[in-house]
Chains A and B, each alone.
Chain A
Amino acid sequence: MELTERHVEGLKHLLYKMADDLLIIGHRNSEWTGMGPILEEDIAFSSMAQDKIGQSLAIYNILHEMGEQEPDTVAFTRNASSFHCSQLVEQPIGEYDFSLVRHFLYDYADAIRFDMLSNSIFEPLAMVCKKFRGELKYHTMHANIWIKDLAEGNEESKTRIQNALNKAYPMALSLFEPSEFDKELSEAEIFSGEAKCRTIWEKEVGTVILEAGLEIPQVSDPEEYYGGRSGKHTEHLQPLLDEMTEVFQIDPTADW
């Protein structure tokens, strides 16, 4: 099937939101490096954060092949309003319970999206999604075991996980903010759309939450955290970008 201009535009939008989510959550999670709860978890969490940056690079590379700028330029020279990440990923790391629950909610969404896109007729993206299957499987396995263990730990750990879930779950719905391209991308068998992604996600994370003896949070306004996909962000993103690009800005032409 021939890709129309509209398909290409939709694809770029899809790729930008995926890559930006990965870059920002990767950076956020790397803020735990050297400060994790125990040495082994610090290393595991940092390593997964690094995986996220690697995955974002792979997607920025596809965008580059489609005529967008170099990955470094795209990652380090845009302002918050040009980022398409969801409002979930830009939230500060908070305490470890929040970071862990966000990792759980985000990585399930990521794994589902990558799995769906492994069958995309857009071959470069399908190949990238297949390549990272193993990494994502480990990330969800890690999240899963921690969520269940802490939920079954003691009263304090259970309360903390439930509270973090109540806070992060409504934010996580912003990952599935519908896009104007969803219908066309779905008809072209490029991507089956945000609504489908969300349905699978609700079922999968819901299963883990209930198995862990926790409650699925009730969300009064699912659109509360929408806007990230079109550049509307919380006050937390710009300071993150300033910090992330601090070294790059000293000499943008430096060869590393």
Chain B
Amino acid sequence: MKIVSLDPRVNRSSINETEESVVLKKLDQFQTYEVFAQTKRGVHHVHVGSVHAANKKIAVLFAKEQYARRGKCVNIWVVKTSDIATTEYEDSDIFDTLDEKTHRNPESYKVLNRIKEYKERTSK
């Protein structure tokens, strides 16, 4: 029995109906690449997602259409996902004390006040 569809392309392909389900094996998929896109020259590349691809040239081709088709983009990086080193979520306590160290935040320097004062002084 051929599969009958409202889609003429399916009918043209004359696909046999089959009872067997298809089980994907490991490595049936290509490896993934992480995609980083830049909206303007000079600004940071931002992670936008990933693509499956056989190699990095094809990954660039795919990244362009998947992630830079809408909105502005001037440059793309792709990195093999397996090449990225990460921290573990179970170790996320290594970040714990950051909240208290307000001296590391730019706000604690009151730079803006000084700039404001300077501007007021010099504009007179």
Contact = CB atoms under 8 A, between A and B. Distances in A.
B65 A31 contact: no
Contact of B58 (A31, A47, A149): A149
Given A40-B66, A43-B65, A145 B58 contact: yes
15 contacts: A35-B13, A40-B52, A40-B53, A40-B62, A40-B66, A43-B65, A44-B65, A44-B66, A138-B64, A141-B61, A142-B61, A145-B57, A145-B61, A146-B58, A149-B54
Interface of B: 8-9, 13, 30, 51-55, 57-58, 61-62, 64-66, 69
Contacts of B30: 38
Contact of B9 (A35, A44, A141): A35
Nearest to B29: A38
Contacts of A142: 61
Contacts of A35: 9, 13
A41 interface: yes
Interface residues of A, number: 16
Nearest to A33: B9
Interface string A29-49: 001000100111101100100
Contact of B69 (A31, A38, A41, A47): A47
Listed from nearest, the 5 A-B pairs whose CB atoms lie closest are A40-B62, A44-B65, A47-B65, A40-B51, A145-B57
A243 interface: yes
Interface of A: 31, 35, 38-41, 43-44, 47, 138, 141-142, 145-146, 149, 243
- A31, A44, A47, A141 — most chain B CB neighbours (10 Å): A44
Contacts of A38: 30, 52
Nearest to B7: A34
Given A44-B65, A47-B65, A142-B61, A39 B52 contact: yes
Contacts of A41: 62
Contacts of B58: 145-146, 149
A21 B65 CA distance: 23
A39 B62 CA distance: 10
A178 to B, nearest CB: 34
Contacts of B61: 44, 141-142, 145
Nearest to B65: A44
Contacts of A149: 54-55, 57-58
A149 B64 CA distance: 18
Nearest to B50: A40
Nearest to B51: A40
Contacts of A138: 64
A243 B64 CA distance: 31
A248 to B, nearest CB: 16
A92 B84 CA distance: 43
Contacts of A47: 65, 69
A182 B117 CA distance: 73
A161 to B, nearest CB: 15
B115 to A, nearest CB: 42
A146 B66 CA distance: 17
A142 B64 CA distance: 10
A39 B13 CA distance: 19
Nearest to A38: B52
A28 B57 CA distance: 26
Nearest to B13: A35
Contacts of A43: 62, 65-66
Contact of A243 (B8, B53, B62): B8
Given A145-B57, A145-B61, A149-B54, 14 more contacts: A35-B9, A39-B52, A40-B51, A40-B65, A44-B61, A44-B62, A44-B64, A44-B65, A47-B69, A138-B64, A142-B61, A145-B58, A149-B57, A243-B8
